[in-house]
Structure 1
């Protein structure tokens, strides 16, 4: 099945797509869950469910219970925001209410908005829940210009202060604290489209289901103040009068590749925001099974080592993934892969979840705003909470935007190898826990696209996708990485060698050769301009010695400074090390870590060091190919001029001061593509 089947009945939808060769996955969607919010649950499909691909429409809609295998409870996965003191939005209300059971309390709507005290604090009657129950809103405090609800309970029976008709004291023996106050949103707008067209009830097929929603969250201060100013009026009927905290805009996109969720939070009052775009309950475990979870760039956190297949079910504490737990502390955790296995360790079903590196999800942006908490996992529910921001103060009209992916995985699988497409961007995600020799990820849809790393990776991948995919190896586990796949123009024909496969050698400059003896060049760093059509990873660099000498040749690469037309002075892109020159032949530097030679101009650098008794001779190019700044004295135009020089370079390559131009032709260099 190459497309979606969507079943709809009013607010309820089931999205069906292919899971593997014999099974389909059913995902619920609900545009009225609860209080008008979009959710990933409905009573006819309480969990994401696997069904045989042969199952008929009648067998799966409205309920697949007769043929389905539940794999994931997503009833609480639509994501609220957090204000630093309460979750709100989504299916949450401010959790600063006190519900008090009082048999036949006698209070009516006329008393709503009245003020009551326990002798210390003021509580506001927000709702007459029923004849035997009352809901009070807690006081708020202002901290650094931001209103915060106080999670406190009355310390004594509540006596009347003002506003009530029925002023009878309220006992607190039946008190339930920290109750969510609802409604906590209003002005909900939602639209549903399949491939850009409105989706009617019934069965339809298409490529992408989109559900857009927006709503306003009132400020808690505004809720309390408005209730007190409108005695006898239930706040649910005057929500639009309450000053707003923020606006939420969500876009849910279901396709055959899973679910993408984009969220924008726009502040309408000053407040502190914690937000994660998505959250993910743990997968459903069959009898005798268990759950395993891997997280890229994460080491030991809480009681588990997440760089292996951590036994999620043994998690004993709420676990924060902070910079101290990361292998690269400057890049917050961005993804996880989770599998359910049976008692024998055989995979049953899996899920990959993560934040994409766009908008405020860019690693550098998240690093600034999630220093306290970039991701956390609850010990009770074993639930994952990625964080886009944590504790970021927003001023009115500031906004935060992020996109998250959710992808169900079919066994057997030795690696998470997925392409996540937003319609505008394509992202490659590779996560592999076990070591692997050279292997390859199929990605035919990305042929000839350029791969740009976004976040930490310990995998060497080519900078362009070949027709047979993306080669990579995991010499030491775990291996992981995330790359943006960008459109790439065809490589100009002047550098045909760099378009070949990994392990092939190429010449940056091809043509006639000559020999060059380094007489007078001892400890003089000679820099030659080199042009490459595109960034190219290399792991070996070769020079041919045609006549032996003494000492060594050290070589490397400096960046190009376009403002001066000269080499960048602060230091090399790479120092390839030394080559022995005591015998003739092709000499090769093997790089322990591949280096990416930049696209455009760079400067190949070579210096004769060590013992300066006998100058070696190397194979060199017969001609230069580019313009060269020669300084303010025209006399330097006489004779051969090939590049710049630096005197007195005796050891490793470092910062330089250019000392003029030189007359040594560029050595012939061959690189091996990594």
Structure 2
């Protein structure tokens, strides 16, 4: 499959994408999770699940069948904020309510908002939960002009102060403290788009799913004061009248490159903010297996060595990654890689999670506001909590914005080597435990980009991305790096046709045509220069046979080496496979996964193979490629038509090349379909 398949029924959605050559990944999304927030869970898909690529729609939707393997519980991964004394927002309410069980208390909605005291503190009745249960809100205090809830259970039976109709004293023989008070948000707005279009119920396909949501969090002081001023009126019915603390704006972006989450917190009253944009529960371990995690720039913390593969199942205490445990204290923790492994240590599935260095996620900004902790891991859930800010006081009107990524990883993997793109920025991330003399990360979409250090980094890479990948070495374990890939100049205008729309075909070289017979071309790989104004994903490639022949045509693309002006000598960007030439007509290669043709120059290669008895004739271009062509040390080759370079003796799959000179075969008419 290519791109995303999105299944929807009202607020429930499942998002399916390719995981590896034989499996797909299915992720849940819920537009009306707890209190109508966006969440990453629904009953039909309790966990992120791996399924065979052959699984039918009916096997994965609306309920995941036994065909799937659960790999990650994300039911609590949508991220609230923290006010310094309580989490709130997301699927959380202020957690300073007291639930008191009183059999047949006889209080009613008319008593909501009334005040009660234990002799020291005043508690506010916020809800009559049922005939035997009452929910009280704790008092608040003002510290440095900021309201803070008080986490304290009643010390004595609650006697009436004001507002109640039923003034019977409330015993405290059965009190549950720290209960979340709900609702704690209002004015929730959510929109859903797939490639800029609304998503109907049923099955849809596309490249990027966007879910936007916004909501308002009332202040706790405002909640208590409003309840007391409106005795007999349930708080849930007048939420919009409560003075506000802040507004939350979230953008979730699912694509074949994983999930991006951008969160903006805008203060509407002065308060202290802790925020992390995303959080990640531990992966689901296979039977008898465990979870192992690496965190760049961190040494020993919580009794575990995070510079190696720390077995987080043994983590005994909540562990903060403070500046004291960082190798470079000026670079707050920005990412982690985690793997679920068997009892023998074999990788099963992995995840990479991190904060991107944009907006308030830039290291120089985070280092000012995460002095207490930049990341922490809980001992109970083994859950990771990145921190964009920790203890930052916002004035009304100020805001904080961060973007986080989540990427599931397929085994086997010696290193995390990923490119994360936001649309405006491209980032290269390498994380590797263990030494390696010479490694190379494939990055065809970033060829010629400048690499600028943007986060914790101890690896050396070239200033610019070479066409055959980013070379690096790890002489001392571990190795890690985060770089921003930048263009040296403004991008050219998009190429017409190549950017028209998903599923549309385009010609990289338009103009009049002719036909050319492949006489004398058997097992000669012919390479032709092609220019694209922007990187373009394709999933089908066509050429036309006009006279049948024997054997097959194999084709693919190679990167361009700007230092020589010739095809890069390494292996191809893609081998498209073979096309039969024993019949005439348009012959099409359907790719198992989309190939991203790089922006700028690349080289299309085609070779006649298998049986060289009868050369086929193909449709070719009647116009030149309009590029400089190096003829070598002799001018003799200028006397005839010259269209590109050739490699002799290519009998099988496309591999590394040693150029043998220039050839005289006109450029085949090639059409691509945009993925």
Q: What band does the TM-score fall into relative to the shorter chain?
A: 0.7 to 0.9
CA shift digits 1:193-249 (9 cap, x unpaired): 000011110000000000000000000000000000001000100000000000000
Partner of 1:367: 367
Using the TM superposition, name which of 466-475 and 358-367 deviates more: 466-475
SS of match in other structure, 1:226: helix
Matches within 5 A, 1:19-168: 19-168=19-168
SS of match in other structure, 1:365: helix
SS of match in other structure, 1:328: coil
CA shift digits 1:111-162 (9 cap, x unpaired): 0000000011000000010111100000000000000000000001100000
Ranges in structure 2 where 5+ consecutive residues have no aligned partner: 491-560, 566-675
Partner of 2:15: 15
8 Å contact kept, 2:437–2:473: yes
CA shift digits 1:6-62 (9 cap, x unpaired): 000000000000000000000000000011100000000000000000000001101
Using the TM superposition, name which of 466-475 and 141-150 deviates more: 466-475
- Residue 264, structure 1, aligned to residue 268, structure 2: no
Partner of 2:387: 387
Matches within 5 A, 1:241-640: 241-489=241-489
SS of match in other structure, 1:380: coil
CA shift digits 1:154-184 (9 cap, x unpaired): 0011000000000000011111000000000
Distance 1:2 1:298 in 2: 37
8 Å contact kept, 2:333–2:456: no
Q: 1:500 offset after TM fit, Å?
A: 8.1
8 Å contact kept, 2:334–2:456: no
Distance 1:247 1:162 in 2: 33
8 Å contact kept, 1:417–1:428: yes
Partner of 1:668: none
SS of match in other structure, 1:407: strand
Distance 1:216 1:172 in 2: 33
Distance 2:286 2:101 in 1: 40
Distance 1:57 1:4 in 2: 13
Q: 1:488 offset after TM fit, Å?
A: 2.1
SS of match in other structure, 1:360: helix
After superposition, the CA RMSD in angstroms is 1.3
Distance 1:457 1:172 in 2: 55
Ranges in structure 1 where 5+ consecutive residues have no aligned partner: 491-496, 502-674
Please list every run of at least 4 consecutive aligned residues from structure 1 whose deviation after the TM superposition is greater than 2 angstroms. 497-501
Distance 2:340 2:175 in 1: 41
TM superposition score normalised by structure 1: 0.73
Partner of 2:210: 210
Partner of 2:5: 5
8 Å contact kept, 1:322–1:372: yes
Q: 1:448 offset after TM fit, Å?
A: 1.2
Distance 1:254 1:216 in 2: 24
SS of match in other structure, 1:458: coil
8 Å contact kept, 1:95–1:181: yes
8 Å contact kept, 1:353–1:405: yes
SS of match in other structure, 2:34: coil
CA shift digits 1:565-608 (9 cap, x unpaired): xxxxxxxxxxxxxxxxxxxxxxxxxxxxxxxxxxxxxxxxxxxx
8 Å contact kept, 2:450–2:488: yes
Distance 1:4 1:176 in 2: 45
Distance 2:89 2:564 in 1: 52
8 Å contact kept, 2:83–2:271: yes
SS of match in other structure, 1:236: helix
Distance 2:214 2:485 in 1: 30
Larger Rg: 1
8 Å contact kept, 1:51–1:64: no
Distance 1:500 1:98 in 2: 73
Partner of 2:201: 201
Distance 1:380 1:15 in 2: 29
Partner of 2:188: 188
Partner of 2:631: none
SS of match in other structure, 1:392: strand
Distance 1:260 1:456 in 2: 20
Q: 1:96 offset after TM fit, Å?
A: 0.6
